[in-house]
Structure 1
Amino acid sequence: MLSDGTPVALVTGGGAGIGAAVCARLAAGGHRVAVVDRDAEAATRVAAECSGLAVACDVTSDTAMGAAVDEVETWGGRLDLVVLNAGSVGGQSGIDALDVAGYRRVMGVNVDHVVFGLNAALPALRRAGGGTVIATSSLAGLVGMPGDAIYTLSKHAVVGYVRSAAASLTGEPIRVMAVCPGFTDTALIADIRDRFGGFPLLGASDVADAVSSMVEKGESGECWFVQPGREPAPFRFRDVPGPAEAGAPPPLHGDG
């Protein structure tokens, strides 16, 4: 146990890409960082670079996520920040010729892991007196992305879960947020990078900087967009219209 009051962070998918950049950014900012990844070798490499802890974990398993949280809390003496960043691309349209195994894989990594991670982390965060959970969604969690309905479904689910979880935890000193980056130059888009041509891509460090800003000043329930050349900020959701007042005429066709 290393606890001396230094904040402890757990980052899933920390062995590469955005996750590795987040680990480096948090370590530079004073966190002790636990690097959680299914690739034990990658986790060990990143953990060595930030003087942290490497944890090999299948994030799609609730028991494995629970064990990872327990290991990190025991190592650090506390848990203050959880970044649920592990993710998978869809790779199929999702509207015809459905690859069911691929669908289950994407939902397991992108959705189940966020649910399991939050549930596993809450007791430890409460023992620390509060904390922060940030899940990695995507711009595909805010708008439809043609050609990959399964990925879009999973990322919309993360946004909805985060907003609901934050509301459910109102009154507790625990923030739950989502980061929603645009296309980011990582291994996840390696096979399709040539399709982007001159389209501007984010770097992993851009997303890590946004996560750092969220830790510093984000409010629970927020979903921050990250786009090249723009300052990351909370996405402003439109309010849903309430019911019409009693006796009011029904809306005209095309209204409401």
Structure 2
Amino acid sequence: MSTVDLTGQVALVTGGAGGIGSAVARRLTKLGARVAVLDLDAAGAQRIASEVGGIAIAGDVTDPETMPAVVAQVEKELGRLDVVHLNAGIGGGQAGIDDALNVDRYRKLVGVNVDHVVYGLCAAVPALRRQGGGKIVITASLAGIAAMPADPLYTLTKHAVVGYARAAGKAVAKDNITVTALCPGFVDTLLLGGAKEEFAAAGFPLLTPDDIAEALQTVLGEGAPGEAWIMQPGGQASVYQFRGVPGAGGKVPPDVVLGSH
């Protein structure tokens, strides 16, 4: 595990009221950071913020106005922003493979797992630029690298997040901003729901939120722009190697934004 000193720095954690988010808020505080805890659960955010000596912010991360307002509040109250953990996430909760698709639930899934990441990164980058750089870690999943047939829609959102982190990481590296994706296996949080008993019955090991907080510390210390880091029970966080991906003959493509067609 990397040695990381965040003394004097400020961190923002989304989905910080429980699970991975609360464990990360505690870890970042131990590393010296002042932490802003954002969650839709206002009481939960306040509980964790009070515990770590940070600030609590209640907000809906699917609303495009939330993340810019949150970043502005963090800068106003804590003076700066250096580390952002875009962690809020939900499960698919449906197959998404036939005409039984529940569109409202699908839109909520995409709103939390994908839109929030885009809104959060776009709001955070200008603040990090003002500090001369910083770190953004996005909670993805092994489902962002490999298919998870039990939840195709969740797989879709996490593949999107990993791709976004890989591309955005390269795009903002010139600003001394490091964007990485953290892709854990199954973690013992409320996201598992009733499946936790099935894992236990099968003797399948689960990661703990503290495992992910430790992995995040490693990523903060060692992560390079655009990397995806994986974490499995009993192992250490490590960089995932994307093999066999077609390249461009070593050439760097033009810095253009593609339009629709």
What is the TM-score normalised by the length of structure 2?
Answer: 0.90
Give the direction of change, closer, same or farther, for the CA distance of 1:99–1:130 in structure 2 (3 Å limit): same
**What is the SS of the residue equivalent to 2:194?**
helix
Q: How does 1:86-105 map to 2 (within 5 A)?
A: 86-96=88-98, 97-105=100-108
- Aligned counterpart for 2:207 among listed residues 202, 205, 226: 202
User: Is 1:237 matched with 2:242?
Assistant: yes
Distance 1:124 1:241 in 2: 35
1:135 and 2:130 equivalent?
no
Of residues 195, 207, 217, the one that matches 1:212 is 217
* Residue matched to 2:56: 54
Which residue is 2:18 aligned to?
16
For residue 172 of structure 1, report the CA deviation from its aligned partner.
Answer: 1.7
SS of match in other structure, 1:34: strand
The match for 1:108 is 111
Which residue of 66, 69, 77 corresponds with 1:67?
69
Please tell me whether residue 38 in structure 1 is matched to residue 40 in structure 2: yes
1:242 is displaced (CA, Å) by: 4.9
Aligned position for 2:86: 84
Residues 179-227 of structure 1: CA distance to partner in whole angstroms, max 9, x if unpaired?
0010000111122211112100000000000001111111111111010
Where structure 1 has 5 or more consecutive residues not aligned to the other structure, the ranges are 245-256
The CA deviation at 1:171 is: 1.8
Return the alpha-carbon distance in structure 2 between the equivalents of residues 219 and 93 of structure 1: 34
Determine which structure has more spread, i.e. the larger CA radius of gyration.
1
* Alpha-carbon RMSD: 1.2
The answer (yes or no) to whether the contact 2:132–2:175 under 8 Å persists in 1 is: no
* 1:221 counterpart = 2:204: no
**Number of corresponding residues:** 240
What do residues 96-121 of structure 1 show as CA deviations (whole Å, max 9, x unaligned)?
21111110010000000000000001
Q: Does structure 1 conserve the Cα–Cα contact (< 8 Å) formed by 2:144 and 2:160?
A: yes
Measure how far apart 1:243 and its partner are: 7.7
Q: Percent identity?
A: 53
160-169 or 12-21, which moves further after superposition?
Answer: 160-169
Q: Deviations over 1:70-129 (max 9, x none)?
A: 101111111000000000000111102111111001000000000000000111101111
SS at match of 1:171: helix
Q: Which amino acid is 1:95 matched to?
A: I
Partner of 1:174: 177
Q: Specify the SS of the correspondent of 1:169.
A: helix
Q: How does 1:143-154 map to 2 (within 5 A)?
A: 143-154=146-157
Match of residue 168, structure 2, among 140, 162, 165: 165
Runs of 4+ aligned residues of structure 1 deviating over 6 Å after TM superposition are: none
Q: In 2, Cα distance between the equivalents of 1:75 and 1:113?
A: 22
2:258 — aligned with what? none
Q: How many Å apart are 1:228 and its aligned residue?
A: 0.5
Q: For 1:77 and 1:190, locate their aligned partners in 2 and report how far apart those are by CA, in whole Å.
A: 38
The code of the aligned residue for 2:102 comes to D
